[in-house]
Amino acid sequence: MAAPIAPAAFALSRHGDPEEYRKRKVALISGITGQDGSYLTELLLEKGYEVHGVIRRSSSFNTNRLQHLYADQHERPNKFHLHYGDLSDSTNLVYVIAQVQPTEVYNLGAQSHVKVSFEMAEYTGDVDGLGTLRLLDAIRTCGLEKHIRFYQASTSELYGKVVETPQSETTPFYPRPVWCRQAVRLLDYRQLPRGLWHISRAVAEISLGKQQCLYLGNLDAQRDWGHAKDYVEGMWRILQQDTPRTLFLRRVKPTAVVGIQVKWEGAATGKVIVRVDTRYFRPAEVDLLLGTPKKAKKSSVGNAKSRLTNLSRKWFRQIWSGQEPR
């Protein structure tokens, strides 16, 4: 499935002028099998890019979100390629950069599950922190530091126990998760949460009689949720800026489960279908994470287009009809 990776000679002289080099429109994406990665791939292919993705080798393939792109190969030949690799393998990253010679690199790969980060702290720090360093060093090793535009997606968990609300690009970090304490200052963004899929799926399955109860964790937690499609467009727009900078991609509208008006419909059976389970509480819960995207708007990076209520309805219909929510 992945394109073969062969050692490539990378003489610095062949890269030429950076502006001429970037006209090729070649993107490399780590974390391409994730939701953001698949949406970003779709966007870049639509814009005429040649897209390369880094995937880890495992006993079972995790490319479901990319399968529809393979079906388009005869319509867009040689435009989409996958390479085996890992952010923990610096030599492999040098080979990938040398072979692909991208004009834009989007680093979306990470161990992003908060609870798992406490159970696998060393691995999380290695991939999320040192993985970024390895990728940047691979670009420099290939002599492409002046030719490639690099996008780094980092978690808003870095602000943790916030010192001000809303947060801005100059807000000091105060991380709660252990792995965040090793992080460096990088661009912050929030992806559409996997937790909302869990809720939408449970509601659909309860209505179909396939599930009896929905179990949730901290209902007081507030998040600035949005749709991945909005964010990946912002990622692309950021790399079209002439000057590198730190920018927030935010909706500026926090949402919590507690306080939402629920309209109950049904046979009034008296059954409890929503319960709180403390096992789903995070080891170190963060405070209100709410950013201001004023700087991004001034840079014409873009605004959020999707509303949370519309997304929830869309997911529910997709799950109820047996589709995978997107």
Domains: count for the chain: 1
Residue 138 reports pLDDT greater than 80: yes
Decide if 101 contacts 111 (C-beta within 8 A): no
Decide if 180 contacts 136 (C-beta within 8 A): no
Global pTM exceeds 0.85? no
Cβ count near 157 (within 10 Å): 22
Residue 44 lies in a domain: yes
**Residue 32 is part of a domain; what is its CATH number?**
3.40.50.720
Residue 96 reports pLDDT greater than 50: yes
CA nearest to 26, candidates 63, 53, 8, 55: 53
Q: What pLDDT digit, counting tens, does each position of 32-61 carry?
A: 998 889 999 999 999 999 999 999 887 777
Per-chain mean pLDDT for the chain: 74
First to last CA, the chain: 23
In this prediction, residues 70-95 reach a mean pLDDT of 85
Residue 219 lies in a domain: no
What integer pLDDT is reported at residue 223 of this predicted model?
64
Residue 323 lies in a domain: no
SS (H, E, C) 148-217: CEEEECECHHHHCCCCCCCECCCCCCCCCCHHHHHCCCCCEECCCCHHHHHHHHHHHHHHCCCCCCEEEC
Residue 206 lies in a domain: no
Residue 267 lies in a domain: no
Residue 81 lies in a domain: yes
**Which is higher by pLDDT, 108 or 300?**
108
Residue 318 lies in a domain: no
Q: Which of 65-69, 148-152, 211-215 has the highest mean pLDDT?
A: 148-152
Range(s) of the domain holding residue 90: 12-192+228-253+286-307
Residue 1 lies in a domain: no
Residue 64 reports pLDDT greater than 50: yes
What integer pLDDT is reported at residue 124 of this predicted model?
82
